[in-house]
Amino acid sequence: MYEDFQFNEAYNGDAITEIDGIKLPQSYIEFMNEHNGGEGDIGETWLVLYRLEELQEINDDYDVNEFLPNHIIIGSNGGEEFYGIDSNGQFFNVPSMMDEQDVTVLCDDMKDFFEKVNEFWRSL
């Protein structure tokens, strides 16, 4: 479906079910166990999904807990936009300045994530 998106190899490390107290949705865990992120063109934008084992460090480096409490980031567009998961298990987009008022909820299931990201960019 997204032939220009290069998936990573399956995640085979210790189980990671939460980052900074945010429970990862089951659909996301299943996706990451199979693909562990990746990078590429998905139609309307470029998408980078960070590796599961890198999430804690990336969220710490960006001080996400300080700027967006109850949220974690899981990827970006390779530029000024981040994608993440909130404490309700919803996937979202937020500009890199990470202000909670700028969060746009996209979906609540990883199987819809790619299409919802594309819909978000088509609507701008």
The answer for residues whose C-beta is within 8 angstroms of residue 61's C-beta and 6 or more apart is none
d(CA 77, CA 114): 12
**Count of domains for the chain:** 1
Report DSSP state, residue 61. H
Q: Is residue 90 part of a domain?
A: yes
pLDDT of residue 98: 87
Q: What is the mean pLDDT of the chain?
A: 96
Single pTM value for the model? 0.93
User: Does residue 103 lie within any of the structural domains?
Assistant: yes
Query: Average pLDDT for residues 93-114, to the nearest whole number?
Result: 95
Note whether residue 73 is domain-resident. yes
Interval 78-91 mean pLDDT:
97
Quick one: pLDDT at residue 95? 96
Cβ-contact 112, 84 below 8 angstroms: no
- Asked if the model's pLDDT at residue 112 lies above 70, the reply is yes
In a domain, 37, yes or no: yes
Distance of CA 60 to the CA centre of its chain: 15
- In degrees, rounded to 5, the angle at the alpha carbon of residue 48 between the alpha carbons of residues 56 and 4 is 150
Q: Measured between alpha carbons, how far is 102 from 119 in angstroms, rounded to an integer? A: 17
What's the domain range around 51?
5-9+19-122
CATH code of residue 36:
3.40.1580.10
